Homo-oligomer: A and B are copies of this chain.
């Protein structure tokens, strides 16, 4: 679950009138669904059909698409390729982010594979770890370095963003290294909350909290049936 810093998102929305994180996440989902339809030769779709596949209400879908000035009309339907292109324009205008991954444990390796297969808006160009036994020169095509080399790696690879997948006790010190090296955007997968200067963008993606939130709603669900 992503928690975008509230003040940050508000400030950004005022300056650039961009959508909220939840809208952006849904747009990414719509784009994926439209790509699938496009590859299966589907030319046209009505909003209620796309809404059903995305598991949102048709109203929600239409509001999301209005946010980005979508082509097509809700009553006549959307051309799949046009809508896909419009969402792509909105999402990927500035090209892929050059990203470093810190932490090559199980989770880090999963993220490395996901990032290399998830469509290219985020490109992990260097990986860092502190355990010598995880150090290989390349992993899934990505060059690997020791965390002590963070500053040099940021400069050499022109790193703009970093993903933190180290244990919670290390997360803050790793974040500090990136920030000192000039990285302005951090995605934190550890279970520690990071403290960062106000001009740094940080997002938290906490698997434990996702699992526990699911457990809570699953528990509520069972008694509902009776």
Please give the residue numbers on chain A whose beta carbons come within 8 Å of chain B beta carbons, in ascending order. Answer: 1-6, 9, 12, 15-16, 18, 21-22, 24-25, 28-29, 32-33, 53-57, 60, 91, 93-94, 96-97, 99, 106-107, 109-111, 113-115, 117-119, 121-122, 160-161, 163, 184-185, 187, 191, 193, 199, 201, 203-225
Contacts and interface: CB of A to CB of B under 8 A. Distances in A.
- A-side interface mostly: helix
28 contacts: A1-B25, A2-B210, A5-B55, A6-B56, A12-B220, A12-B224, A15-B224, A24-B216, A28-B212, A28-B216, A55-B193, A55-B204, A91-B216, A94-B219, A96-B215, A99-B215, A107-B110, A115-B211, A118-B212, A122-B215, A161-B214, A161-B218, A163-B214, A184-B218, A184-B225, A185-B217, A185-B221, A187-B218
B212 A119 contact: yes
